[in-house]
């Protein structure tokens, strides 16, 4: 399970966030400040250090946490492909700020001066588990020693490893991330309708990271006529004209196919031909790839 096509195609915001997190982690490690990162009661209520709060939102405190964290951030790029870079930017900002505010509130309630929360983008990572659980379908199932696992199980295990990496220090940021993701899901303050000005979201698409790839990244919502992610040739000519009586495919069905790596336009047309049957539409798209 890889969240769709490999690389950061159509996920420029995720690409920038992953690179920024890696740079902050390496930089703080070189400076020997990794153990000093993370929010504590003193940092918030006695001596406010704004730069430390910002750095703690990006940098992980250890190499294992960095590996698990970047792996999940890389996988969750599927959400940017589903909702577009602009709205995903809003999701990142909302989940990060809400998670930090939740941590600040937790420190005020606990009043434990010896407690320092684990640094890193825990808010974004664990907020992403809400749509991951609700929107991403299971594509394969396996049984190991009588226990059934799915392709989603590996993401859950990686998240559990990160959540319990530092016990209480990491559990609280994880819980705050769940809270942030739930509030976004509930459309708190109509946040799901919010958008940034177009020049902000397009800024990430213009960034170029030579070590990651050369393909330009754009929102899947803005590339309606592009070639399908896995197709060798365009799928559209293989479809007959849509049946007028067939209702418009639901966003949930389209999102399910997009999460598997198919192009949004191709997924919509396949659903129309399959009369909104996701399984049949999946077979149509897979057959088009083998031709």
- Is residue 243 within 8 Å of residue 221, measured between CB atoms? no
**Interatomic CA distance for residues 262 and 271, integer angstroms:** 12
pLDDT digits (tens, 9 = 90+) for 123-182: 999 999 999 999 888 878 888 888 889 989 999 999 999 999 999 999 999 999 999 999
What b/e readout covers 112-136, taking b as 16+ CB neighbours within 10 angstroms? eeebbbbbbbbbbbbbbbbbbeebb
pLDDT digits (tens, 9 = 90+) for 192-223: 999 998 777 667 666 545 444 444 434 434 43
- Is residue 10 within 8 Å of residue 219, measured between CB atoms? yes
**Interatomic CA distance for residues 228 and 262, integer angstroms:** 6
**Whole-model pTM over 0.75:** no
Looking at residue 230, its pLDDT comes to 41
Looking at residue 165, its pLDDT comes to 92
The single-letter DSSP state of residue 243 is P
Alpha helix positions (H), the chain: 12-30, 41-45, 50-56, 63-75, 77-83, 85-110, 122-127, 129-135, 153-163, 168-185, 198-206, 251-259, 264-273, 278-290
Terminal C-alpha separation, the chain: 23
Region label for 10, one of left (φ > 0), alpha (ψ between -120 and 50) or beta (otherwise): left
Residue 290 has pLDDT above 70, yes or no: no
**Interatomic CA distance for residues 43 and 104, integer angstroms:** 10
- Rounded to 5°, the CA angle 254-15-117 comes to 105
Region label for 144, one of left (φ > 0), alpha (ψ between -120 and 50) or beta (otherwise): beta
| Length of the chain in terms of residues written | 291
Phi, psi of 150 (to 5 degrees): -120, 175
Mean pLDDT score, 17-42? 92
């Amino acid at each position: 399970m890889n969240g769709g096509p490999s690389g950061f195609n159509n996920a420029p915001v995720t690409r920038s966030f992953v690179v920024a997190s890696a740079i902050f982690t390496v930089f703080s490690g070189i400076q020997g400040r990794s153990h000093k990162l993370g929010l504590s009661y003193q940092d918030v209520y006695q001596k406010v250090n704004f730069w430390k709060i910002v750095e703690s939102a990006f940098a992980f405190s250890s190499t294992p946490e960095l590996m698990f964290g970047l792996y999940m951030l890389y996988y969750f790029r599927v959400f940017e492909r589903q909702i577009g870079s602009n709205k995903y930017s809003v999701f990142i900002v909302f989940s990060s700020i809400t998670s930090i505010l939740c941590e600040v509130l937790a420190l005020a309630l606990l009043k434990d001066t010896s407690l320092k929360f684990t640094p890193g983008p825990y808010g974004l990572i664990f907020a992403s588990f809400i749509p991951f659980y609700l929107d991403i379908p299971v594509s394969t199932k396996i049984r190991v020693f009588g226990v059934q696992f799915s392709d989603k199980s590996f993401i859950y295990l990686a998240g559990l490893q990160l959540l319990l990496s530092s016990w209480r220090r990491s559990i609280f940021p994880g819980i705050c991330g769940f809270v942030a993701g739930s509030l976004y899901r509930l459309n708190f303050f109509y946040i799901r309708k919010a958008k940034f000005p177009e020049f902000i979201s397009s800024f990430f698409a213009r960034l170029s990271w030579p070590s990651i790839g050369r393909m330009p990244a754009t929102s899947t919502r803005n590339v309606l006529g592009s070639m399908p992610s896995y197709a060798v040739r365009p799928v559209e000519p293989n479809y007959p004209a849509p049946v007028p009586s067939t209702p418009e495919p639901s966003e949930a069905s389209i999102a399910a196919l997009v999460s598997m790596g198919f192009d949004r336009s191709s997924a919509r047309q396949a659903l129309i031909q399959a009369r909104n049957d996701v399984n049949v539409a999946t077979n149509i798209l897979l057959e088009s790839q083998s031709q």
